[in-house]
Structure 1
Amino acid sequence: MTHTIAKPLPLTTSQHAMWLLHTISGRGELFNVAECMVFRGKVAATTLQHAFNHVWQASDTLSCRFPHDADYTPALQPTHNTPIIEIIQLEHDIEHVTDYAQQFMAPKLCQPFDLSSQPLMQLQLLRGESQDYLMILAHHLLLDGYGFGLFSQALSRSYNALIKNKALPNLRFSDQQTLLDAQQQATYLTTVDSARQTLNQWLDDIGEIHSFSDSKADVTTANKRTSQQFTRAQWQTIQSAASSINSSSSEILLAAIATALIAKTQHYHATLGLLMMNRQSMAELSAPCVQSNVLPLPLNLTPDMTLHDITVLVNHQIKALKQLQSYRVESLKRDRQKQGKSLTVFGPTINLLPFSSNPKYAGIETHSHILSAGTTDDIMLQIHLLGDTPANIDFDVNEARYQPDQVNTIQAQVFDIAIRWANQPTLALSELVKCLIQEPKHVF
């Protein structure tokens, strides 16, 4: 359908890439994101709605739709019609929040947003006996992982101001035009072009890229998720090993994932996909809209490497990749096609989710559960780094490529490798791989 566009604003490169994925795929529901915010008490529903109104109207990248003209050129069109938070009364508190929230949101995650005609966010406040739960569904165009953080912090600030009868805060979100201007500066464009050249050179040097599955089946349904958390004793062992080799726990986990991939493929060059925040300027850091990117993290490993050697390499490669994060993965895939190369530019995708404080609402503590961070056409490992609390890893997979027993095996091996290497950090990579190949498959 063609829509008349009044005072249109162009899309950023990141927004346009997401709009294209939604439009061309015909499966817009695959780009929904969802979160459950658990309140450790009862909130004032009317005040929460007023706070949401303020946040919504403070950002044209939130309160917008994305109509297109007859040539299918999209635009961002602000609208100040704030969605109404639906109130749902529960008979009692929820016992298993994550399971309940996943089941509650599943039907909503299967419904695509109409980008051109409806607000791209829905909220339901579930009211339990002693605590409440806010279910948030949005299109990825409005929010990415970092954007969810900006949104939740702004919502709590506004709520707290209203409760204290103070003036509503100036939220200082970047508007769309400021974001566009920042990304059209000569220095920014030079950085993007340099990143394009470097990333393509990296991929030219790699050759074939492998993942845990050889299948190329397209996504047909929302990702299937399984989760596993380290025990406290295991996590303390990993933290101790990280300290002893002057590394970090997240780098040990990346080393474990790369090792599991080597054991599966028998190729010592592992190229992971790493989710990047892709925010460097103040304009980008203040905009909740989609900006994140995923790019190849090539790890050229050798059989004699120890855990320390690999974590040093991981650290070096991540630092190098941070300088290249402004070049879109969609553009990189197009580059590879033009050069006659495979469209596959990385294997498993890794999303490192650092520990962050959860905002309080008039003294009421909150805890957030990420229910869906979008889709992956292969496998994505979302690593929740929770401070001293043992890390949890979500394994999100394209069910068309992975059977449940395959996912269980991958999950078991990643955990097993991380623990083994934490206990024996001087073990050579080849020795660890040999042990994995010789031992029978098991479920952790």
Structure 2
Amino acid sequence: MPAHGGRGVHAGRAAVPDRGRRGRLQRGRTPTGPDLRGEPLRAGDRHGRRPARPGRPGLDRRARARADRGPAGRGPAGPARRRRPADAGPGLGPPDATHRGLATRGPARVVRGRGGPAHPERHRDRPERLSRPECHTRPGARVTLTASPTRPAPAPPVPRALPLTQAQLGLWAEEREQPGGTLNHVAETLDLRGPLDPARLRAALTDTLRAVPALHVRFRDDGHRVRQLLGPVAPRAPQEHDLSGHPDPDARAQAITGALLDAPLDLPGGELYRHALLRLGPDHLRWVFVTHHIALDGYGMHLLLGRLAAGYRQEACAPFDPLDAAVLEDGAYQASPDRARDRAALNAVYADLPFEPAPLLTRGLKRGHRAGRDLPPTLVRDLRAGAGPLNAGWPDVLFALSAAFWHAHTGERATLIAAPVMLRLGSAAARVPCMIMNLLPLRVNVAPHDSLRTLTAQVREARTRTQPHARYRYEHLWGDLRGRRLFGPEVNVLPFAAPPDLGPDLRVTARTLASGPVEDLALTFSGWAGALHLSVDGHPDLYTPAQVGGLCDRLIRGLDLALRDPDAPLPPLLREHA
């Protein structure tokens, strides 16, 4: 196609010569046609020209006369004259179409560059509202504009169906046996003190919850298998309560939090979480988040809180990795030869122990009474400094302390610690908030004369021996051993449990209100920087709240004594009247 300074002007027919450069282009006039933006120009009064006649867009008077006479003066052009050459490009619509600013439709839009060649593909993606009418009609013929076929609305996305992880399957079985239970609820609170921007916090909450597909799945159980459906779901808005004028805002906030925690979540209906914003004072806001363990484990909650903090700080957040990858990796392990190897290794832990039925078969699992203490900073420093001479990390020292505590508390020689493992290192689930954690048995044989040094070495060996087999599910192990008791205390050490950082102006206090049911005792050590917090959960049929608090104090006192002399017999230091 010719450029502006070429031999002719494209006008829906064959090019018309400019007669020795005396045409409109020579005088700087712009012909009717696409402008530099790919839109049709108005044919007419900008340069004092008459509107072009229908079927003859862009032709001057002499050109129209020649076109109407046809070749050799044989009258109006017939069908042969109306046929457009293949290289002439798309035709333009009639003047009334261009006056209304309506785009025309053809094989491709043509855009004339500034003195350069035409670009037929540049504006192919622009919306076109009318189909191109027939441009090659006789003068005076009636032209009808026809609307282009409307494009069908895009179909709603079909939810993707995924199997459940093995961790989720066990929790779904419990839900199916006891619908509406609340034992597997987990709850977290953030107390925010300082100059908080509520609107920014709400926006960060919405963005964070939308980014976690595991909180929005729908479970479908047909009796043969259960699937989780992933699809777009709007995040749930938080409940909001202004308690700043209440006589006792903290007591009222605890009552609201208890109601959120104790009300069943409708898993079949897709309710996997609920949350609330409680204003306790002018510069004090509390966020309460309750979810089901089938959606998030402890590490998944950690990822969620980190995303929330970054969102409030208005920092760019990389998307989480897809849930599909974590689920499929979990399924692939179940069919791999590694599973049989791991099964044999963990069954061997119990090979020489007498059979003892699991207590949960008689008294069941329940949410425990909880007591919590912050360890003195000097004790935390002594713990970190004392781990080096023991050739261990300070988490192994706490596992050894817990094993000796259980022996002093129950008299059992073979202490089987249930150690939660997140299963994220080197996994497709490393950046996926979901439920995939497991419980790993750490067997520590405790004698009354064993010291902290001796037991710490045992813990290190037991962890090295069993850690490679941590993917074998404890539910499957329980089935292998025909329902025997698997564990004594559950001991969870979280060495990087720093509260979320929402900025330098806000002081944040994070608390875990519930982390699932207990069989007997559960000990949780949460550490960050120079701080360490101990939480003890005791089965309500075995311990009163006061007894749980006493056990918490006894552990802290025993740790202090053991660190002063790591070679002294440890169990006597942990007895009730030590």
- The yes-or-no answer on 1:66 pairing with 2:66 is no
Instruction: Say which SS state the counterpart of residue 152 (structure 1) adopts.
Output: helix
Match of 1:378 in 2: 520
- The yes-or-no answer on 1:203 pairing with 2:350 is yes
Instruction: Say which SS state the counterpart of residue 244 (structure 1) adopts.
Output: coil
- The yes-or-no answer on 1:272 pairing with 2:417 is yes
Distance in 1 (CA, whole Å) between partners of 2:232 and 2:269 is: 10
Distance in 1 (CA, whole Å) between partners of 2:166 and 2:530 is: 37
In the alignment, residue 88 of structure 1 is paired with which amino acid? H
In the alignment, residue 159 of structure 1 is paired with which amino acid? Y
- The yes-or-no answer on 1:217 pairing with 2:363 is yes
Task: Select the residue among 268, 283, 288 that pairs with 2:428.
Answer: 283
- The yes-or-no answer on 1:388 pairing with 2:388 is no
Q: Is the 8 A contact 1:43 1:361 kept in 2?
A: no
In the alignment, residue 492 of structure 2 is paired with which amino acid? N
Superposition deviation, residue 305 in structure 1: 3.3
Distance in 1 (CA, whole Å) between partners of 2:361 and 2:235 is: 43
Identical aligned pairs, as a percentage? Answer: 23
Match of 1:194 in 2: 341
Q: Is the 8 A contact 1:88 1:126 kept in 2?
A: yes
Q: Is the 8 A contact 1:109 1:137 kept in 2?
A: yes
In the alignment, residue 289 of structure 1 is paired with which amino acid? C
Match of 2:273 in 1: 121
Distance in 1 (CA, whole Å) between partners of 2:498 and 2:551 is: 30
Instruction: Say which SS state the counterpart of residue 8 (structure 1) adopts.
Output: strand
Superposition deviation, residue 114 in structure 1: 0.8
In the alignment, residue 126 of structure 1 is paired with which amino acid? L
Distance in 2 (CA, whole Å) between partners of 1:181 and 1:370 is: 30
TM-score by length of 1: 0.84
In the alignment, residue 286 of structure 1 is paired with which amino acid? R
Instruction: Say which SS state the counterpart of residue 66 (structure 1) adopts.
Output: strand
The superposition leaves residues 12-68 of structure 1 with CA deviations (integer Å, 9 ceiling, x where unpaired) of: 112222222222234521111111112232433333333333333333222222232
Distance in 2 (CA, whole Å) between partners of 1:75 and 1:355 is: 31
Superposition deviation, residue 405 in structure 1: 5.6
Distance in 2 (CA, whole Å) between partners of 1:263 and 1:69 is: 49
Match of 1:425 in 2: 566
Query: Can you give the 5+ residue segments of structure 1 that lack an aligned partner in the other structure?
Result: none
Distance in 2 (CA, whole Å) between partners of 1:55 and 1:358 is: 17
Distance in 2 (CA, whole Å) between partners of 1:409 and 1:203 is: 31
Task: Select the residue among 240, 245, 260 that pairs with 2:390.
Answer: 245
Distance in 1 (CA, whole Å) between partners of 2:496 and 2:333 is: 35
Instruction: Say which SS state the counterpart of residue 189 (structure 2) adopts.
Output: strand
- The yes-or-no answer on 1:131 pairing with 2:284 is yes
Match of 1:175 in 2: 322
TM-score by length of 2: 0.65
Superposition deviation, residue 329 in structure 1: 1.1
Superposition deviation, residue 242 in structure 1: 2.5
Instruction: Say which SS state the counterpart of residue 119 (structure 1) adopts.
Output: coil
Superposed counterparts of 1:11-410, under 5 Å: 11-26=164-179, 28-71=181-224, 73-91=226-244, 102-127=254-279, 128-161=281-314, 169-171=317-319, 173-185=320-332, 189-207=336-354, 216-219=362-365, 222-337=367-482, 342-363=483-504, 364-389=506-531, 391-404=532-545, 406-410=547-551
Q: CA RMSD in A?
A: 3.1
Q: Is the 8 A contact 1:61 1:175 kept in 2?
A: no
Q: Is the 8 A contact 1:90 1:129 kept in 2?
A: no
Structure with the greater alpha carbon radius of gyration: 2
Superposition deviation, residue 347 in structure 1: 0.4
Q: 1:305 to 1:77 in 2, by over 3 A?
A: same
In the alignment, residue 261 of structure 2 is paired with which amino acid? L
In the alignment, residue 198 of structure 1 is paired with which amino acid? A
Distance in 2 (CA, whole Å) between partners of 1:314 and 1:181 is: 33
Superposition deviation, residue 148 in structure 1: 1.0
Superposition deviation, residue 374 in structure 1: 1.4
The superposition leaves residues 116-174 of structure 1 with CA deviations (integer Å, 9 ceiling, x where unpaired) of: 2133121211233113221111111222111111111112223333xx7xxx6331x23
Q: Between 5-14 and 266-275, report the one with greater CA deviation.
A: 5-14
Instruction: Say which SS state the counterpart of residue 434 (structure 2) adopts.
Output: coil
| Equivalent residue pairs, number | 419
Superposition deviation, residue 336 in structure 1: 0.9
Query: Can you give the 5+ residue segments of structure 2 that lack an aligned partner in the other structure?
Result: 1-157
Instruction: Say which SS state the counterpart of residue 410 (structure 1) adopts.
Output: helix
Q: 1:101 to 1:207 in 2, by over 3 A?
A: farther
Q: Is the 8 A contact 2:414 2:444 kept in 1?
A: yes
Q: Relative contact order (alpha carbons < 8 A, sep ≥ 6): 1 or 2 greater?
A: 1
Q: 1:191 to 1:387 in 2, by over 3 A?
A: farther
Q: Is the 8 A contact 2:188 2:289 kept in 1?
A: yes
Distance in 1 (CA, whole Å) between partners of 2:545 and 2:329 is: 45
Distance in 2 (CA, whole Å) between partners of 1:356 and 1:258 is: 22
Superposition deviation, residue 229 in structure 1: 3.1
Which structure has greater helix proportion? 1
Instruction: Say which SS state the counterpart of residue 183 (structure 2) adopts.
Output: helix
Distance in 2 (CA, whole Å) between partners of 1:266 and 1:185 is: 42
